[in-house]
A and B are shown apart, each in its own frame.
Chain A
Amino acid sequence: MKLEKWLKKFFDTCLRVWSEAKNTSANVSAKFSQNLKNIALKILQNTKKPQIELLKNRIMWFIAQLWQNLKTTKNVILDFAHSKSNLAKSKLSSLNIDFAKNIVDFVANFAQLVKIKALEITTMISSKIGLLGSLQKSLEERKSTQSVQIAKSTQRAQNIGTYQSRMQNPVIRKARFFRKFAMKEALRCLSTHKVLFLIYVVLPLLIGWFIYAVFMASLPRDLPIGVVDFDRSVESKEALFMIDSSAAVKIAKSYEGIKEAKEDLATSQIYALVVIPSNYERDIKQGNGVQIVLYFNAQFVLIGKAISGALEGVVGTLNAKQWSGKNLIKAKNLNLAIASSMPIFSQIIPLYNSSNNYSQFMLTLLLPCMLQILSALGMLHLLRHTPSSLKSLFIRYVFNSLVFVFWALCEIVLLKKLGFENRGDLGLLVCGSVLLVLGVNGVVVFIQSVLSDFKKAVGFVAIYTAPSLAFAGVTYPQSAMNVLALFWSKFLPISHFMELFIQQANYGGGADLGFEILGGMLWFLLFFALGSGIYALRNDWEILPKNLVASVAKKVGQKYE
């Protein structure tokens, strides 16, 4: 039932996001295209038409003016010639008249020529003007088709709107959704990209749940221990009862002697052995002081520490009980005795993980570690077939990173919901997760670009990311590592991320240090640049996409034609 509900919810949210995205994208694209068309039309209407008219008018005016001038000059010359000829008739020889006549003819011829030329020019200009007119006409035609298109697109947008409004109806929506999207698409996706589906959806959930389940207990408790009671008295039974009732341990078995317990200790049937000596009760009563011996298995460090800590607590309370018992017997000496027994009390305060919660400690480390492993694997699968261009590589890189940034966000929310320390700036943590995922994917791109063999790359990526838990610097501090290990640790994005996570989530530290750590993670992006460079060299990619170059060249060619 829960799964069903969860699935329904999941699909609902998916649908909502999908429809919203569609809606907004349709709106935006419609608006954008409308705006673009409006602007184009405005330019055509407001600038081109008057300009053409103006040009036409001006040219006509210029020609008329020219013609007028030519006419006047002709008249002037003719007048001049006539007066000259008259003068010549009267005064100058016939030669002069011939000359004058020649000049007049020449001028007349010239004028004729000019006239013809001018006419040619005017016809040419008028033809040009006609061309411009036809151009204008075509533009207007285009405008009208555009308006039709706009109408169509608005119609489409309206259709989408009605579709969406229909989709608002939950019954129709679900029916449509399950028929159209969930069933078909999901099945198709599943059958074609089984492995990716596994890596992107199933494994993050499965492994997250698995790790959570492992550390569900949070604190070590009820660890089986054995006891050897040589005294078998009331006091010793009480002591054993006290031990059994402490949270961390549970008495699983009691032995006759120490030797009998040896094999059980060696096979981890019991993690510790408590030995109560003989004459325990007598020595307590006499105030001689007794010693309870605890043999604990230090092989499992965590378990050993938990048991010895618990036993110390039990013995402390046993002591206090004995002292309060003694109080009745020798009251006057009590203060002195207690003070001399415990002159200094110590108060231990664990910072940033107040209950020493093991699940907080491990989950905050393990979840990012698994995240980067899965992200690397997903990236590798996307690169299984060599991308065809830089753009394709980039899209794969970004897509894979987005998927795992989503899981990183889920992880941060989960850690917060589990009630672990989370004081710092969420934005910085998100930035850190983004850089972690981008960094790991970048390294994977680099490895795959160098090897260009999926099967080998899996091995190398495994060597790179799988031991990151040991190098992350949380289980074993970086300050205690040697130089080589420290170098390898700095070479893993996860160690920087864990530093950031602890600095932000646990300490609630300043943003300046946070940004400093983030800056250290930026270096890993260089691997992506390097990897894509190697890819480009190997496959002779052009830096600019080919179709873009081609289309630009085509346009330019058209212009010059």
Chain B
Amino acid sequence: MNKQGISFLQILLCEYKAILSNKLVVMVVFIGSLVYGVLYPMPYLNDIVTKQRLVIIDEDKSDLSRRLIFLASSTPQIALLKEVDSISKAQSLIEAFEADGVMLIPKGFEANAKKGVGSVVSYMGNASYFLIYGAIVEGVHNAINALSDELRKEKEPSLRSSEIITLESIPLYNTNLGYANYALAAVLVFILHQTSIAGSGILSAYQNRVRKEKWQKEKWQSKDKMREQSGENIGENIGGNVGLKSSVDFGGDYEREQYFEVVPIWKLIFGRILAFVGIYSVLFLLYFGVLFPTLGIHIHALASDFWCFSLPFMACCVACGVALGSFFSDESIPTQVIFVSSMPLVFIMGFIWPSELLPVFLRELSYLIPAFHGIRGLISLNQMGAEFASVMGHFFAFFVIGGFCFLLAWLVLSYRKRERV
């Protein structure tokens, strides 16, 4: 390879070759993205939690109580399991994982309601599982409201509205409060973020290792030569510290000059970012074009807005990955870092748990992670139909983070290159 005449296109081609010939990168970037993309949404395919098993304790056994039970059973969230006669029996059913909630209709329910004293219905949901609890509360609440309306109308047909002030709650963006739009829309973006960082990190670390080992080999070879020339006793020294290692055969990788050693570092990093952005454009198409519609996740963003936002996002992620990988000369470390950090990081992204409730240092930490801006921005654009102007903050954040990572990678890589001398 000619040192001067290597063009940017050639670097790009070399990058693609390096990516595709490195099994680990292929595994993380392609297999990882696809497997996670299919595996992660699997539990949430049913989206809304329905048909939670409700146990009834009907102490009143009146027409009205039967009416309430009927109304409760006709809500989609609830499936009646059975009627028991005591609360302890209901409890044992819940604790055997056979039921999810209890509705208790007390004695004198109908009489009190008809008299106008007002009667109390207690319902209990298993709050160990928040979604189950929410479904049961919603179902029973709806049933009770419906019954109340019926009673009201029966009593006073002329009454337009029983309450002076009413609240009309209108859910926006994710109108059925489903899980797919809530968690998956964000998690899938996060998966792409993690695999891109890991993939580019692995490639950078791998090249560091190759370079390091080659230099070491050259060092040993030159040492051996020097010893031979000066007529020292080689066997002793080889037995001491370098003997074992210098006998290792490094194979073809080390023989010829590698492209990443001859090209300028800034060009190398640019080439890598561009190469990965190309691959991730395809993966983004796959995720947002195939996975999102099949999972029923909304995509409201304009195509131009979407790509305008996504491309810097990808580039920023890759820059982060290169910076991460440049520190190590063992390609398993970036994978491990990504592996361990995934779960804690998901929770500071602000979609499961609101950012406003995070401690200040964690909130500030989350601003430093490209995924935070990526998830926030893409959710705003896709799920909530925001205009591009309103996600400009996140958009610029990519350039700041990406630029910083680029400089960092440049610094570290050039330091590593100078190490040799």
Contact = CB atoms under 8 A, between A and B. Distances in A.
Interface string B321-362: 000000000011001101110111011101111101111001
A444 interface: no
B121 A344 contact: yes
A81 B113 CA distance: 140
Contact of A292 (B126, B152, B168, B376): B168
Contacts of B339: 373, 377, 458, 461-462, 466
A298 B117 CA distance: 36
Interface string A329-368: 0000001111111111111111111101010011000100
Interface stretch (B13-21, B172-180, B227-235, B265-273): B172-180
Contacts of A291: 165-168
B156 interface: yes
Contact of A373 (B148, B151, B343): B343
A236 to B, nearest CB: 11
Interface in B65-103: 68, 94-97, 100
Chain B CB within 10 Å, residue with most, of A211, A370, A463, A488: A463
Contact of A351 (B39, B126, B354, B386): B126
Contacts of A513: 95-96
B118 A267 contact: no
Interface stretch (A2-10, A158-166, A174-182, A219-227): A219-227
Contact of A475 (B115, B130, B390): B130
A79 to B, nearest CB: 91
A279 B179 CA distance: 38
B390 A470 contact: no
Contacts of A290: 164-166
- The 9 closest A-B CB pairs, nearest first, are A339-B116, A266-B386, A298-B171, A341-B162, A350-B127, A353-B127, A289-B161, A507-B95, A485-B42
Interface stretch (A52-60, A94-102, A305-313): A305-313
A417 B368 CA distance: 33
A507 B91 CA distance: 9
Contacts of A455: 24, 331-332, 335
B381 to A, nearest CB: 9
22 contacts: A266-B385, A268-B350, A291-B168, A299-B173, A299-B383, A300-B351, A312-B169, A315-B166, A335-B116, A340-B156, A340-B159, A345-B121, A346-B123, A349-B123, A351-B127, A353-B127, A361-B128, A370-B343, A463-B39, A471-B43, A475-B130, A479-B52
A263 B386 contact: yes
A128 to B, nearest CB: 56
A302 B353 contact: yes
Interface stretch (A64-72, A498-506, A536-544): A498-506
A312 B168 CA distance: 9
Nearest to A210: B344
B120 A347 contact: yes
A558 interface: no
B152 A340 contact: yes
A265 B172 contact: yes
Interface residues of A, number: 113
Interface of B: 23-24, 27-28, 31-32, 35-36, 39-40, 42-46, 49-52, 68, 94-97, 100, 113, 115-134, 137, 140-141, 144, 147-148, 151-152, 155-156, 159-175, 177, 179, 181-183, 185, 187, 331-332, 335-336, 338-340, 342-344, 346-348, 350-354, 356-359, 362, 376, 379-380, 383-387, 389-391
B97 A221 contact: no
A348 B126 CA distance: 11
A370 B356 CA distance: 24
Interface string A518-530: 0000000000000
Contacts of A221: 357
A301 interface: yes
Interface string A444-487: 00000000001110110111001101110011110111101100
Contacts of B159: 340
Chain B CB within 10 Å, residue with most, of A263, A287, A299: A299
Given A294-B168, A369-B343, A299 B379 contact: yes
Contact of B177 (A305, A319, A469, A507): A305
